Amino acid sequence: MQPAEARYNKNSLLLALRRYSLAVSDMEQTILLPSLLRDLPSDELWDCDAAEETCRDLYDNYLMLKAIRNAAESGLIPLDDHKAKSNSALSKTLEPLLDADPEALFRFHLKGLFSVLGDLTKKSQSLTEKYMDIIGVAN
């Protein structure tokens, strides 16, 4: 019998999603007391919101990573995301892409999905490692 990852091509989107989902599941199983992450600032730039110029704490990152995983697995997009698509400023910046070859557009978005899923996987693993450091367990 083949392991689950062997069934997918190594560059499969399903495999990338599975890796992210497993990283978040591992994070959930490891982080037994998420409240320990409250008020602990993250040292990574991806946590900072440019508009508010505030950085999230590790607890907010934990909740965000879980929420993204749940949305990706359920396939449900919040209603607010549909409203964001109608933003005219965003539409104007995307106009050159919309006129592109459909295959090129598909490859562009697929590459972006791989990049985002890879980054989220690394962030989930990093948060798990930080929690282990906080509680004093060597990994």
**Residue for token pair 């933003």:** 87
**Residue for token pair 């704490």:** 57
List C-alpha distances in Å: 50 to 24, 37, 39, 55, 129. Answer: 25, 22, 19, 9, 26
Residue 118 · residue 16 · CB < 8 Å: yes
Helix runs in the chain, H state only: 13-30, 58-74, 79-85, 88-98, 102-135
Q: List, for residues 22-67, the tens digit of each pLDDT value.
A: 999 999 999 999 999 998 887 765 545 544 545 578 999 999 999 9
Q: Say how far apart CA 20 and CA 127 lie, in whole Å.
A: 13
pTM comes to: 0.73
Return phi, psi of residue 55, to 5°: -105, 145
- Is pLDDT of 125 > 90? yes
